[in-house]
Amino acid sequence: MGSDDLTPRQFAVLLTVSQNEGLSQTQLVDKTGIDRSTLADIVRRMLKKGLLSRRRTREDARAYAVRLTDDGWKALHSSVPVNRRVDDRILSALPPAQRARFLDDLNSIVAALGKIRDNPE
């Protein structure tokens, strides 16, 4: 996705962190839906690339707060147009009148899955 060779999951992490500065990696798992071990690997790679930084949280010395670096912000901003083009191309498979409904339905599914994950029976 773009000139920084971001994967869709890396883009999702950058976007989520940009909207929630200082999230712990556990909270990032909850917000992105990426499993814990995969997310840990993604964060490790993004730390190595200089896109993220992390520090121990004050509340829990075992947890890390994740933030975007200046390079992370640049990578996010340069990837947004590519992401929009990909979204537009995918949505172009639907007639314009159905696109908003499709996105609403997807959001409903994501919300329902979040409730199931938070309250397993």
pLDDT at residue 121, rounded to an integer: 63
Residue 103 within a domain:
no
pLDDT given for residue 118 in this prediction: 63
How large a percentage of the chain has pLDDT more than 70? 93
10 Å CB burial of residue 78 (0-12, 13-18, 19+) is middle
Tell me which residue range forms the domain holding 26.
8-93
pLDDT, one tens digit per residue, over 53-71 is 998 877 777 788 899 999 9
Residue 78 lies in a domain: yes
Where do the DSSP E strands lie in the chain? 23-24, 52-56, 64-68
Examine residue 102 and state whether it is found in any structural domain, yes or no: no
The secondary structure of the chain in percent helix, strand, coil, rounded to multiples of 5, reads 65, 10, 25
Residue 31 counted as domain residue: yes
Total number of domains in the chain: 1
- Alpha carbon separation from 8 to 42, 63, 71, 92, 96 (Å, rounded): 11, 25, 17, 19, 25
* Greatest mean pLDDT among 10-14, 27-31, 32-36, 53-57: 10-14
Structural domain includes residue 117:
no
What's the CATH number where 66 sits?
1.10.10.10
Classify residue 118: in a domain, yes or no: no
pLDDT for residue 43: 95
Q: What is the pLDDT of residues 41-57, one digit of tens each?
A: 999 999 999 999 998 87
What is the arithmetic mean of pLDDT over 67-96?
92
